[in-house]
Amino acid sequence: MSRSRVADLLSRHSNPRSAPRARRARSQAYEQHRSNLHESSYNLGRAAHQLGLLHIAQHYYERALAAGEALVQERRRQHGGEDEEEDREAATAALEGRTLFREIAHNLALIYRASGANALAKELYLKYLTV
């Protein structure tokens, strides 16, 4: 999807009063077109971030993290391991390369730090970006 198309998706409107509904409808259409909520939320967040719409980017990044956690939880249920730590490692390894936790956490932390929410950024760093 081209950058101008994404900008159009997030900001085009003919009537200022209907703009939020129009943006929401277009983003919902995109999410339905893409079956992976984790990835589509990240893509919409990244597009909004590039356009400087940080409040919208924050919403989609947080949504992408939640969707990714749901993927990991589903994988854990399928795996059915006894040890929780071993189970988390197996679930994470199974999803390696298909999740965007690091990218999302980094971008969301940038937004948090820019707004002065350093404690929230630190939580993301510790949870998703620490080896």
The burial of 51, by beta-carbon neighbours within 10 Å (0-12 exposed, 13-18 middle, 19 or more buried), is given as: middle
In this prediction, residue 20 carries a pLDDT of 62
Count of the separate structural domains present in the chain: 1
Task: Express each pLDDT in 67-119 by its tens digit.
Answer: 888 887 887 777 665 556 665 565 565 555 556 888 999 999 999 999 999 99
Cα–Cα dist 88/90, whole Å: 5
Q: What is the CATH number of the domain that holds 120?
A: 1.25.40
Q: Are 104 and 45 in contact (CB under 8 A)?
A: yes
Q: Please tell me the pTM assigned to this model.
A: 0.67
Give residue 95's domain range.
Answer: 3-128
Evaluate if residue 10 carries a pLDDT over 60.
Answer: no
Q: What confidence category does residue 59 fall into, taking pLDDT thresholds of 50, 70 and 90? A: very high
